[in-house]
Structure 1
Amino acid sequence: MSSPEPINKDQAMLIVGSPVSPYVRKILALLHLKGLDYELDPITPFYGNDEFSKLSPLRRIPVLIDGDLVVNDSTVIAEYLDEAYPDVPALPKGARERAQARWIEEYADSRLGDLCVWGLFFPKVVAPHVFKRPPDETAIAKVTDTDLPVALDWLEERAPTVGFLFGDTVSVADLAVACPLRNAAIAGWTPDPARWPKSAAWLGRIAAQPCYARTIGFEPAILATRAEGRRAALEAVGVKVAEQSFGTDAPRASIMLR
């Protein structure tokens, strides 16, 4: 198979996935950082149709579509974009630092994603509204009282005192950490600055970056808007929403992401 040509910067690519997903948010922030144009199909996997299953056999988001190129998994998408558009790098230069960045991204995607999305955001925000399922408060308390503090203790040891993980510019590793913790914040949990001062300050610096701050502006269009009005609400805040969608009108309760 021949390697795909780099994306034409004048041609918008399509990102499939809701912008409140930490993995979609990471890619959108990266696109903003690199100044790349895109269209968005803001579906959740629970509302994906059969064509979505063909694009994403694991029914996960985001999916990047560029012409006849389909790329799954946020890490793979990020690496593709960084290789295709190296002018604004999202990974550090050296092999050692790049390995560190990839590991931190993996830790954020897997461990923080598991805790913040499946441990908090899904049971407190998604399940009650989509599946009418009450949250398990005992399980949630374990996440907030034990599991997330352990994860934040690990991050606190590695959090930069100034700037970002790999210097003065934000990297995909910084974004990967901030994105699931934003879902935890939406669900009502944020790191205590008294216990995790370096992490709290670092997350504040990431949140202030225009590439990331713009994604926060998308949240009301999803979280405070009824499903039928979300696409218009996203357009109202400057998102180019795709004309066609891989979504359905009703959720598929039997489909999970893992």
Structure 2
Amino acid sequence: MTEPLTIIGNYLSPYVRKVLVCLELKGIPYRIDPIAPFVGDDAFGRLSPLRRIPVLLDGDLVLNDSTVICEYVQDRFLEVPLYPADPVQRAKARWLEEYCDSQLGDVIVWRMFFQKGVRRFLFNEGTDEDVVRGAREEELPVALDYLEAQLPAQGWIFGEVSIADISIAAFFRNAAFVRYQVDAARWPRVAGLLERAWALPAFHTLARYEDGSLRTPLPEQRAALAAMGAPLTETTYGTAAPRYGVRRPG
């Protein structure tokens, strides 16, 4: 590989985080244009017709959707496999990834993180507290009950860290951003997996940039991340005024 891969997408997106963790675990060089999809310009719209993040650029190749990107990365860079070799386990891992992308995406990203963060600070709109309350008290516990039944008491789901572990940990980072902590007494297996995953150097490296982004208004994030040494692209697609696009970013 002559040039690093390029990832377009904000550090605070769990879909972007999932891709970046895969790249970090595999040791693949990359650069990032840390935009939110809401501020992507017209050129971004041509790269991402659904106006979602992440987007991967690899030479002339443009890929959308975090799952497609992670599978491409796995197929191209075989070292440090992140999908189980066994076809049954591989299918189960892909299902857990999809469950996170869809169900946790709806509950954690849109009904909690978007309501408490993006909607307030980017669009200057009020939080629908009933939506947040329902997500925290009703929907997320159901998801946690399901995940608790799928996880081992110790270690990783399929023996070695996989896309399933990465996906679960990536989404619950956003729950932590809005001060939701998994009850370790009620869901010990989920809480244990999160503790193990977040302790990985890949998650730890990204957490520094995530925390810096959380403390910084979106228009100032790129400069703040540059000062922190983030591997930024030379140019950005994030030059448009904030606007709603297609609902789910990932």
- Using the TM superposition, give the Cα deviation of residue 236 of structure 1 relative to its aligned residue in structure 2, in angstroms: 3.3
- Using the TM superposition, give the Cα deviation of residue 249 of structure 1 relative to its aligned residue in structure 2, in angstroms: 4.6
Match of 1:55 in 2: 47
* Alpha-carbon distance between aligned partners in 1 of 2:196 and 2:220, rounded to the nearest angstrom: 32
Note the aligned Cα RMSD (angstroms): 1.2
Mapping for residues 1-258 of structure 1, pairs under 5 Å: 8=1, 10-167=2-159, 169-252=160-243, 254-258=244-248
* Alpha-carbon distance between aligned partners in 1 of 2:205 and 2:241, rounded to the nearest angstrom: 29
Percent identity, aligned pairs only, is 47
* Alpha-carbon distance between aligned partners in 2 of 1:131 and 1:38, rounded to the nearest angstrom: 30
Tell me if the contact between 2:116 and 2:178 (Cα under 8 Å) persists in the aligned partners.
Answer: yes
Tell me if the contact between 1:46 and 1:256 (Cα under 8 Å) persists in the aligned partners.
Answer: no
Tell me if the contact between 1:108 and 1:176 (Cα under 8 Å) persists in the aligned partners.
Answer: yes
* Alpha-carbon distance between aligned partners in 2 of 1:229 and 1:45, rounded to the nearest angstrom: 16
- 5+ residue gaps, structure 1, are 1-7
Taking structure 1 as the reference length, the TM-score comes to 0.93
- 5+ residue gaps, structure 2, are none
- Using the TM superposition, give the Cα deviation of residue 87 of structure 1 relative to its aligned residue in structure 2, in angstroms: 1.1
Aligned residue identity for 2:62 = V
- Using the TM superposition, give the Cα deviation of residue 57 of structure 1 relative to its aligned residue in structure 2, in angstroms: 0.5
* Alpha-carbon distance between aligned partners in 2 of 1:18 and 1:208, rounded to the nearest angstrom: 21
- Using the TM superposition, give the Cα deviation of residue 240 of structure 1 relative to its aligned residue in structure 2, in angstroms: 1.2
Q: Secondary structure at the match of 2:122?
A: helix
Tell me if the contact between 2:19 and 2:66 (Cα under 8 Å) persists in the aligned partners.
Answer: yes
* Alpha-carbon distance between aligned partners in 2 of 1:165 and 1:73, rounded to the nearest angstrom: 24
Aligned residue identity for 2:194 = L
- Using the TM superposition, give the Cα deviation of residue 144 of structure 1 relative to its aligned residue in structure 2, in angstroms: 0.5
Aligned residue identity for 1:144 = R
Q: Secondary structure at the match of 1:71?
A: strand
1:72-117 per-residue CA deviation (whole Å, 9 max, x = no partner) reads: 0000000000000111101011111100000000001100111000
* Alpha-carbon distance between aligned partners in 2 of 1:93 and 1:45, rounded to the nearest angstrom: 34
- Using the TM superposition, give the Cα deviation of residue 25 of structure 1 relative to its aligned residue in structure 2, in angstroms: 0.4
1:54-84 per-residue CA deviation (whole Å, 9 max, x = no partner) reads: 1000100000001100010000000000000
Aligned residue identity for 1:238 = G
- Using the TM superposition, give the Cα deviation of residue 228 of structure 1 relative to its aligned residue in structure 2, in angstroms: 4.0
Tell me if the contact between 1:45 and 1:257 (Cα under 8 Å) persists in the aligned partners.
Answer: no
